[in-house]
Structure 1
Amino acid sequence: MSDIRHALLRRDPLSAAKEVLYHLDISLGSALQSAPGPTPGLDKSTVDLVEEFIFQVSKDRSVQRKRMSCVQELQLLEIMCSYFQEQSKDAIRQVIFSALFGLQGNKADESRMSVLGKLVSMAVAVCRVPILDCAATWLQRTHSAWCVRLARVLVDDYCMLVPCSISTLQNICSASPRFCCQLISAVTALYDLSSDELTPPPALLEMVVGWITEDPRLLLLTFINTPLTSSLPIGCLEVTPLMGLLRWCVKAPLAYQRGRKSTVTNGHVDTEKVGECEELYSKLHLSVLQVFLMLQVHLTEQNLLGRLAVLQAESVAVLVEEVSRLVDELNPLHAANEIQLALDRLAQALQVAMATGALLCTREDLRTLCSRLPHNNLLQLVMSGPVVQPPPHSGPFQPSLYPYIHPARPSPLSPHATHQAALSSPHAAHPALSPLPTHPALSPHRSLTPHTAHSPLPPHTFHPAAMAFPYRPIR
């Protein structure tokens, strides 16, 4: 390998980088074809060549090398785009992409991330689907801290620097939905609404809501296509963007109310833009609830209902804690309406997630989680409403259902309904009301006599006040 290195040192930086890329293709491609199975790894000498001649991180400080100019770096990105586009075998593409941009935990990782951000941004601009699919796999298997950095590059390029270019990124959804699904997970991890700077830009929010509104199944794409046997690295992104989007919907009213305070002190409030964002969050919340229903169908078909939690209880606990802190911060601001809206959305999402099997959590655990939150009628109903519990040892978990609080009203065609109305009416003895079509034997000129067959029925059997309601609000 030293001979190859000395030969590469005599070349210009761009030519040397091209040579290393083709060397990777030959060595890893042939290894993958000759021994199908686990992904072949790179030996240390090959990793050193990649880092030195592609990412410009020299291992030998005594050797002074020329670095690539901006034009040469752009040419290298074009060469990479062409290579991944022309490589017809997806397995080889994935192996080469992982060999190039798999993080090693050394100082070359910064250069890897710099080149990766530019490459993916270029792939979005020229719609190179093979690179976007490889980037989707990278986002799925890499620590979320690095995924957030890649997401920030794309948001800066297409939402901040040139806002009108957001349509270019938006059109990628139809070309590579896998990449868009992972990108949503990454941007929700980036913009957690913990501060005004980490609130999603309106253009990004509108794009994400447009994607999901057009096809809500996009959020489940990675989850459905990921084998259950595959173990993802610790700290990677969520298997679905649902938790991140739920955080957006719940915290948005509180975060924007906090933002109003800072804008008021600066002397300007863009009420029109705030109103548009509120409407977008409302649409997003509805879409998230719809995706939970779709998820129940998939879990049922795969016999995973009650056995696989898509929303982790730990993540829900973190969200509740964040909401609690925001509520404490906004209490002096008289944000009662915003607080109740946030709690309403949280309660709706928790109930639907539990009913569809996406969240495996008992009511007792839910009460413990939400005990610090302010009073909210809907949230209290979710935490302590009447629930039909399945009998013990009855098989797999089934979602709890709310029973009817009151019994069904009798049908108007039922004789019980007619007799009950007659008994309960204060004008039952009036001659004009005495003829009943269902009792032709009764004389229209004599007063009605009580029907002894129905005497055990009290006059207000079906009145709601007569029913015992087990719901007790939490104090």
Structure 2
Amino acid sequence: MGDIRQSLLPRDVLSAAKELLYHLDIYICNMVQSGRQAPQVDTKTLDLVEEFILHVPKDRNAQVRRMSALQELHLLEIMCSCFQEQSRDTVRQLVFSALFSLQGNQADESRMALLGKLVSMAVAVGRIPILECAATWLQRTHRVYCIRLAQVLVDDYCSLVPGSVPTLQNIHSASPRFCCQFITAVTTLYDLSTEELTPPLELLKMIVSWIQEDPRLVLITFLNTPLSNSQPVSSLDVTPLGGLVRWCVKAPLAYRKDKKPVMVNGTGENEQEAGPLFSALHLSVLQVFMLLPNILTEKGLFGRLALLQIESVAALISDLSRLLDQADKHTHTISDESHAASQLALDRLAQALQVAMANRALLCSRGKGSRILNLLQLILSGPVMYYNNIHTPPLSFSPHAAHSPIASHPTLPGHAPHTPMAPHPSPHPQYPAQPFMTGLPFPYRPGH
């Protein structure tokens, strides 16, 4: 396609971009029809995309070509039509990749800006082919850029335009794959560490309603991903389970009534409004864990694949220990509501870990399991000690306690019998000691 550059140069920016999209579609169609294995778009074609669609000049002395806002809107409409009219998914995916795969150069910022506008428009006008391509992009791209795309959609539909949330909510039925990836991205973005990184109430309501309606939604990417294709190390998790557990556990402390209210769309939202939503979300996450044995067994992965990563659990426990330590340091000014919030966070952590381990969503080797138990015990025993990762040397109690997560499960062949760990006496009266690994002692309490 390199020979068409001279014909594009005299055209205005919109006409040149439209012509290049037309030639790009033909070029990729021919490449796919040739039966070439793993077709790749050549470098010259990518250079044309950067020059005439992303407007990154290839010549230092060349004049920068820019579109007006109206021209850019027309380009987005043209792109929507191109993807909608192309019937072959393979061609659509290759065109999308040629336009938006990050190359590690100065054109990437232009790619991200155009991508955010295109996906936002696709949500608004229901262009399912673009959402499907974007779902694949989210699965293959570095998580830093994935959360940037998610932030654009949250800003557009949950913050900037009042009443536009139902439009975004429709992606649940329009493209479950994209919806699943979007949930994974926003749970990665909003880690509840600050007010700015606490999910807007409208977003929370939407995600809770999605998962309540269809708990399997959070497993869509996992169910549709060939097991032979390993996820890139820096990509999003294959499910949002880790992020959802983090939300549920940290929420009681992030939304405490005695803290400054979280601002959403200019109005204060506190624990009274968010609390029941996180409670419902916690129950839904536990229900998803309980679906996993049959799903993993069907795939031949029961006991072999962990959908809740142990590194994620270790990071959550470390975060929770810091939050509880901060609450301890201010007990002279914090009300009983703070103590109740801390207890609820501990209850949810215990419930999530036990249900995940019972259903083999979380797998622990002896060494890693004992280190997780160490961190859990340190939360209760105080003073809180901070651990940056899971490789902290274990304490002196028995490692066998970590290997048998649920007392009702039979002892695995070749492993020592499990001896339940006695509850550790807690010097903090507001945090009663919890028998974390001896069954399911914590009933779900929807009233919290």
The amino acid across from 2:308 in the alignment is L
Q: Deviations over 1:327-351 (max 9, x none)?
A: 1122213521111100100000000
Counterpart selection for 2:298 from 296, 301, 305: 301
Alignment pair present for 1:364 and 2:370 = yes
Structure 1 range deviating more: 346-355 or 28-37: 28-37
Shift of 1:393: 4.7
Structure 1 gap segments, 5+ residues each: 377-381, 395-399, 403-468
CA contact (8 A) 1:212 1:218 kept: yes
Correspondences of 1:359-438 after superposition (within 5 Å): 359-361=362-364, 362=366, 364-374=370-380, 386=407, 389-393=410-414
**Correspondence for 2:4:** 4
Quick check: 1:147–1:186 contact (8 Å CA) kept in 2?
yes
Count of residue correspondences: 392
Match of residue 409 from structure 1: none
Note closer, same or farther for the CA distance 1:65–1:8 as it changes in structure 2 (3 Å cut).
farther
* RMSD over equivalenced CA pairs, Å: 2.4
Given the superposition, is the C-alpha separation of residues 352 and 385 from structure 1 closer, same or farther in structure 2, using an over 3 Å criterion? closer
C-alpha contact 1:254 1:342 (8 A) present in aligned 2? yes
Moved more, 199-208 or 64-73: 64-73
Say if 1:353 and 1:151 are closer, same or farther in 2 by CA, change over 3 A. same
Q: 2:281 corresponds to which residue?
A: 284
- Find the partner of 2:311 among 311, 314, 321: 314
Distance (whole Å) between structure 2 residues aligned to residue 240 and residue 145 of structure 1: 17
User: Any idea what SS the aligned residue of 1:163 has?
Assistant: coil
* Identity, % of aligned positions: 60
Q: Once the 2 structures are TM-superposed, how far is the Cα of residue 45 of structure 1 from its aligned partner?
A: 1.4
Long gaps (5+) in structure 2: 383-400, 426-448
- Contact 1:386–1:471 under 8 Å retained in 2: no
Q: Distance in 1 between matches of 2:112 and 2:99?
A: 10
Cα distance in 2 between the residues matched to 1:392 and 1:170: 48
Q: Distance in 1 between matches of 2:96 and 2:120?
A: 15
Partner of 2:397: none
Q: Which amino acid aligns with 1:323?
A: L
2:259 matched residue in structure 1: 261
Could you tell me which residue of structure 1 aligns to residue 56 of structure 2? 57
**Change beyond 3 A, Cα 1:391–1:106:** closer
8 Å contact kept, 1:132–1:179: yes
Deviation at 1:36, TM superposition (A): 4.5
Change (3 A) 1:314 1:336: same
Larger Rg: 1
| 1:325 match | 322
TM-score (norm 2): 0.83
Distance across 2 between alignment mates of 1:149 and 1:250: 24
Q: Is the 8 A contact 2:157 2:168 kept in 1?
A: yes
Partner Cα separation in structure 2 for residue 234 and residue 391 of structure 1? 31
Does 1:46 find its partner at 2:45? yes
Deviations, residues 314-368 of structure 1 (Å, cap 9, x unaligned): 1110111111111112221352111110010000000000000110015524312
Q: Is residue 255–residue 274 contact of structure 2 (8 Å, CA) maintained in 1?
A: no
Deviation at 1:6, TM superposition (A): 2.1
8 Å contact from structure 2 (residues 119, 131) kept in 1? yes
Matches within 5 A, 1:19-418: 19-38=19-38, 40-257=39-256, 260-263=258-261, 273-331=270-328, 332=330, 333-334=334-335, 335-361=338-364, 362=366, 364-374=370-380, 386=407, 389-393=410-414
CA contact 1:193–1:251 (8 Å) conserved in 2: yes
With over 3 angstroms needed to count, the CA separation of the structure-2 counterparts of 1:167 and 1:104, relative to structure 1, is same
Q: In structure 2, how many angstroms separate the alpha carbons of the residues matched to 1:393 and 1:27?
A: 59
- The alpha-carbon deviation at position 311 of structure 1 amounts to 1.0
Which amino acid letter does the alignment assign opposite residue 411 of structure 2? P
> Counterpart amino acid of 1:277?
A
Contact 1:260 1:269 in 2 (8 A): no
State the distance in 1 between where 2:267 and 2:260 align. 9
Distance 1:164 1:240 in 2: 29
Q: Structure 1 270/99 Cα, relative in aligned 2: closer, same or farther at 3 Å?
A: closer
Amino acid at match of 1:370: L
Output the amino acid matched with 1:312.
Q
